[in-house]
A and B are shown apart, each in its own frame.
Chain A
Amino acid sequence: METPHADIKVDRLAEDLFTNHQQSIFRHTDRMFAVLMALQFLGGIAAAFWFSPKTWFGAYSSVHNNVWAAIFLGGLVSIFPIFLALKFTGEKSTRYVIAVSQIMMSSLLIHITGGRIETHFHLFGSLAFLSFYRDWRVLVPATAIVAADHMVRGVFWPESVYGVPGGQNWRWLEHTFWVLFENTFLVIAIKRSTSEMWEIARRTSETKQLNEGLERRIDIRTAELETTNQNLENEIVGRRRLQLEAEVISKVIQGLTTTDNLDDLFAMVHEQLGRRLYAENCFVALYDSETKVVHCPFFVDKFDAAPVPEKLGKGLTNYLLRNGAAVLLTAGDIEELSAKGEISIVGTIPAVWLGVPLRTPRGVIGALVVQHYEDAAIFGQHDERFMRSIGDQVALALERGRAAEERLRNENQFKDMFDNAPVAYHELDTEGRYTRINRTEELLLGYTNDELKGRHPWEFIVENVSRGAIADKLAGKVPLRAVERTFIRKDGSHISVLNEDRLIYGENGEVTGIRSTLQDITALKSLEDQLTHQALHDPLTKLCNRVLFSSRVEQAISRVRRTHLPIAVLFLDLDHFKSINDSLGHAAGDELLVSVTERLRACLRVSDTPARFGGDEFAILLEDLEHANKAALIAERIRKVLCAPFKIAGTEAFISTSIGIAITTSGSETPEELLRNADLAMYRSKSNGKNRYTIFENEMHDAGLSIPRGRPIRNCRTSPRTFKTTTAEPGP
């Protein structure tokens, strides 16, 4: 539903359209009548010449009055309306004059042609033509002229109208009636036509409104589309520029990563730069922060030559380096800065100068510059951003180069340190293979670096080290700690080392291998063994000491629990040792103890463990006894062997031994209990006359025997031997 405002607008537009249409009709019809009148004028003359060219007086003739009437009267009737039709086209007065004139012409033609019916049709046709104006008012003067003509002629020349002289005054209406009759239909037609014109105007107005609205929407949409299109074009241009920039930057990056030579690097950068922007005048300046010198390893320019290296001064490049920020300056900006004293103009002043810093984590190390000497608008913000990207990549490449040099330097230093470190180093890869060993390790193992490369350490380790162990280390499943290893040298000898591993990490934090140090601890190990041996053995006799013996007894008791094979502990005390020691000296005493030890060893099996508890006390662990009596047999053998004379310090010495035997078949005793039982049994032997063995019985605990020591040594042959049923008597 249209709003009232829209309705008013439509009505106004319709009115304008109708008026314009109407005016157009008026104008066209005026011009039509102008032509028609001219044709009628000529036609009238032609008709006059055709129908009544001459009037006669007997044999004589002259031009008929009709001809003069056609020419002059006809011309007069036509000229004014033609003038109006051409000069005042569309005016109301024009068409009224035309209406009058047209009827006058009809009348003239009728009379010229002698009232022919065709010229009467001209009258009715003229009315129809006048209706072309679609203005019924035009018919009024025309009809009035007809009526007046008939009325006047009816009055003055009635016979010409009615055919008879005289006539009723009202009869002129008869002739006027037909005109009115035709007018009725013409007016109806005009009304209808006008109504249709209104309708057309209104519909056109509505359509125009719709079209205008549509056009407005189209215009808006077109504008939007144009804007969108422009934006898209801008975006496309921008993307193409970005694409080119990305391509150039990619090429630069690719070139920078594959080019080591600086000259080639800068030339490549310049070439790629030129694809994106004007780079006919381009240079790279590098700044040494230590020497404060700026030099240009790359310089191309139309006018200026490459500057010599100089200290950081006040040129544009130096201005950029001092400020550390990108600079885009026109000639005016440069002159302004020069006027302020911030820069000194060096070389030809460019129309525009664009420079970006080469920035690294260490700071600004240089500048990348392009300039143009004529067009100040050739570089813009987009170019500055692009240059910064390129500058960053160049800086990165330079820094990478510097870092690579430093890394190489460090690597060489490291290699030197690695190779010459006092500690053996080797590195393994993730498969546990040797990748590198240093010189120290080469010497340690006797292999060269090349001989070990690709091999696994466990090939040279005595201990059982599996591939899985190294894998676990690499995976971090086991803690890395120093461990002792025994390596087999190339010559087959063994060395003990302290192997300490550290994981090697790559740039991304991933484990890339193991770095190990081998510290030769062979001597240390030997010393340790010695100390351990010394800690667990009697230094004189090299037999186990009490600590080690107790440990062995404990282990043997554990085995008894499993095997249920008896074991026995023999406790031996040498009889008369003190007297020999006192008489012959401690050295002789030691010699005697050593000899006793030798004889003991000769009596024992491999599985037996002799020990010296100190002084003249010995203990023996007998394992793998088939039966308990075997312990007594061994004890007896020992007794007899020790009764044989010893040659000590050039003298024969005679001793005997008192032996106590503690046997366990269940393994329920502790080592201390077993030892104590054997000791108790030994004391029983002592108390029973020495030079005998006694097998422990539980009643000995009850008796609480404790025979003090320090009794004088006796010769074992003279000592009486007594045996109880539980004490084994020495044999003959």
Chain B
Amino acid sequence: MTIEKTATPTKAKSLLVITGLFWLVIIVGGMALFMRYENRAGFAAEAPDGWPLASRIQKSTDRSTLVVLAHPHCPCTRATINELARLMARVGDRLAVYVIFIKPAGVEQGWEQSDIWTSAAKIPGVKVVTDDQGRESQLFGGRTSGQSVLYDKSGKLLFSGGITIGRGAEGDSTGAAAIVSLVMGESEAVQATSVFGCPLSSDESYCDLKKELLDGNPTR
């Protein structure tokens, strides 16, 4: 059977070209917006410079303590937990790590014990803590799930930020590298990186988020 090349009339071709270009513009624009969203950092934490004494979490006295604030259902936080696991594999013996899962008021029992909770709990050396009503999150100034704060053994803030490169994106990140270098004593400067995740509290209004998205100006 001979298959002939189809000949498209010129008018239809022109229409197709125009449509194609329009389509391309649309999807490029769409992808750009999506990229922008993907790479938009969450609200940055206002971590105290020193270990909050009111925190129920006992800071380690012989090593640095890393606290990761997580929303138990934030999908982006899975990447944070996976990065944490890699971090622990590298410098886990030098860190005391706590993953604090926020439990807002009014949720049912066990709400915070999601698969992310389970994954975090499986990481050797990581303790998972339920943060009723976000008390601990507030103490550590966390606003976005995935926020990680590192304090040295004296309680001095060494790092505050995220350890992923984007929303739900795993891979080598500045945050993880900073933590490693701080733990290893290669750096002493306080470092901060963007955090990619869901807001820990509903107080972080959706309107602000929406405003941010529309204006392109983050409120953090």
Contact = CB atoms under 8 A, between A and B. Distances in A.
Interface stretch (B23-31, B59-67, B91-99, B147-155): B23-31
19 contacts: A16-B2, A19-B5, A52-B76, A54-B73, A56-B73, A58-B104, A59-B107, A66-B75, A73-B30, A76-B30, A89-B6, A93-B17, A116-B170, A157-B39, A157-B166, A160-B38, A160-B39, A163-B173, A164-B172
Interface stretch (A103-111, A248-256, A279-287): A103-111
A69 interface: yes
Contacts of B24: 100
B71 A157 contact: no
Contact of A114 (B5, B17, B79, B174): B79
B23 A76 contact: yes
Given A91-B8, A108-B34, A160-B166, A59 B106 contact: yes
A72 B2 CA distance: 39
A11 B31 CA distance: 47
A163 B3 contact: no
A160 B76 CA distance: 14
Interface in B141-179: 145, 165-174, 177
Size class of A's contact patch? 35 or more
Given A57-B198, A69-B34, A156-B35, A115 B3 contact: no
A80 B79 contact: no
- Determine which residue in A16, A56, A69, A100 has the highest number of CB atoms from chain B within 10 A of its CB, and name it: A56
Contacts of A97: 20, 23
A181 interface: no
A58 B4 CA distance: 61
Contacts of A381: none
B194 interface: yes
- Determine which residue in B16, B73, B174 has the highest number of CB atoms from chain A within 10 A of its CB, and name it: B16
A51 interface: yes
- Determine which residue in B6, B16, B31, B201 has the highest number of CB atoms from chain A within 10 A of its CB, and name it: B31
A93 B14 CA distance: 12
A59 B166 contact: no
B199 A114 contact: no
A275 B39 CA distance: 105
Interface residues of B, number: 57
Interface in A59-93: 59-62, 64-66, 69, 72-73, 76-77, 80, 84, 88-91, 93
B169 A56 contact: no
Contacts of A51: 75, 78, 168
A55 interface: yes
Nearest to A68: B34
Interface stretch (B121-129, B180-188, B202-210): B202-210
A165 interface: yes
Interface in A560-580: none
Contacts of B165: 115, 159-160, 163
B199 A56 contact: yes
B200 interface: yes
A243 interface: no
B198 A159 contact: no
Nearest to B75: A52
Contacts of B102: 58
A76 B8 contact: no
B58 interface: no
A13 to B, nearest CB: 11
A88 B8 CA distance: 8
The 9 closest A-B pairs by CB, nearest first: A114-B168, A58-B202, A52-B75, A163-B172, A59-B104, A157-B39, A56-B198, A115-B169, A58-B201
Nearest to A64: B75
B45 interface: no
B74 interface: yes
Interface of B: 2-6, 8, 16-17, 19-20, 23-24, 26-27, 30-31, 34-35, 37-39, 71, 73-76, 78-79, 102, 104-107, 134, 145, 165-174, 177, 193-194, 198-204, 206, 209
A114 B63 CA distance: 32
Contact of B20 (A58, A65, A93, A163): A93
Nearest to A92: B5
A473 interface: no
A435 B17 CA distance: 125
A108 B173 contact: no
A20 interface: yes
Given A51-B75, A90-B6, A73 B27 contact: yes
Nearest to B203: A58
B14 to A, nearest CB: 12
Given A55-B198, A88-B16, A160-B169, A111 B145 contact: no
B116 to A, nearest CB: 11
Contacts of B206: 57, 62
Contacts of A676: none
A268 to B, nearest CB: 67
A53 interface: yes
A270 interface: no
A136 B74 CA distance: 42
A153 interface: yes
A53 B78 CA distance: 13
Contacts of B8: 88, 91
Given A64-B75, A97-B20, 6 more contacts: A20-B2, A57-B209, A73-B30, A76-B27, A88-B8, A115-B170
B216 to A, nearest CB: 12
Contacts of B19: 80
Nearest to A88: B8
A56 B102 CA distance: 12
B202 A59 contact: yes
B204 A57 contact: yes
Nearest to B7: A91
A727 B182 CA distance: 217
A202 interface: no
Contacts of A52: 75-76, 168
Given A56-B198, A69-B34, A76-B30, A159 B174 contact: yes
Contacts of A66: 75
Nearest to A83: B19
A53 B79 CA distance: 15
A260 B4 CA distance: 83
A16 B1 CA distance: 11
A23 interface: yes
Contacts of B3: 20, 23-24, 27, 90
A57 B75 contact: no
B27 A77 contact: yes
Nearest to B198: A56
Contacts of B23: 76, 80, 97
Contacts of B5: 19, 23, 90
A124 B101 CA distance: 37
Interface in A207-242: none
Contacts of A72: 30
Contacts of B166: 114-115, 157, 159-160
Contacts of A108: 31, 34
B27 A114 contact: no
Contacts of A54: 73, 75
Contacts of A16: 2
Contacts of A80: 19-20, 23
Contacts of A60: 202
